[in-house]
Amino acid sequence: MTHSKLSYYAELLLYPIVIVALLLLELARSGFVLQPRWLLALGAGAALWTLAEYLVHRFLYHEVKILKQLHGLHHARPSDLIGSPVWVSVVIFTTVFALVARGADLQIASGGTTGLLLGYLLYLLVHDAVHRWPLAGPSRLHAWLRSCRLRHLRHHRDPQPGNFGVVTPLWDHLLGTALTRRARRA
Ligand SMILES: [Zn+2]
Ligand SMILES: [Zn+2]
């Protein structure tokens, strides 16, 4: 669906607040020292995000009919503000939090969800940068974002499916879907 600017960028406003709230709650709970257990869960959540991003894009957005149609709109008009409504991600992250809190405990759920949200925020920013930001600067950040842009635009344009990772090419390389120049020639 096509969004207004406010609803398209709503997640970029909402999730930093949620992340800070989770961090403050954990600090208050643990006597203002972040415990290794929470930090480990955060690292695991962030790493897991990169795999979730790859799997959702490859198997849900490109294989499930209704989602494929919606995602196809983004492929056809990458500059338009097309995306899922905010409540979808809110429901998903809340469910993950509740399930982990139930299966493990609140501290792991808090750290893990914070990591997932950090990964998701980075994905939103990188995907926006790839399609909409001017990236001509000499900084390392711009150089990295230009490499993300090159990789993602190849995903948009190449007739062969691949390059599903936006933030990192890791899972494309591990799971054999990286679109390299050699693969294109072949
Ligand atoms: Zn796609
Ligand atoms: Zn895109």
Q: Could you please report the per-residue DSSP string of 76-133?
A: H-TTS-B---HHHHHHHHHHHHHHHHHHS-HHHHHHHHHHHHHHHHHHHHHHHHHHHS
State the distance from the centre of ligand 2 to the C-alpha of 73, rounded, in angstroms: 10
Q: State the distance from the centre of ligand 2 to the C-alpha of 103, rounded, in angstroms.
A: 35
What's the predicted TM-score (pTM) here?
0.92
| Token pair 């695991």: residue | 44
Q: Summarize pLDDT for 61-74 with one digit per residue, the tens.
A: 999 999 999 999 99
186 C-alpha to ligand 2 centroid (Å)? 24
Work out the widest C-alpha separation in the chain, in whole angstroms. Answer: 58
State both tokens at 79. Answer: 């500059």
Q: Residue 183 above 60 pLDDT? A: no
Listed by start position, the domains of the chain span 5-134
Quote the ligand 1 centre to 43 CA distance (angstroms): 26
The number of C-alpha atoms within 13 Å of 153 and in the hemisphere containing its C-beta is 11
Please tell me the distance between residue 126's alpha carbon and the centre of ligand 2 in angstroms.
10
Task: Please tell me the predicted confidence (pLDDT) of residue 8.
Answer: 75
- Position 135, amino acid: L
Q: In whole angstroms, how far apart are CA 147 and each of 46, 50, 58, 119?
A: 21, 17, 20, 18
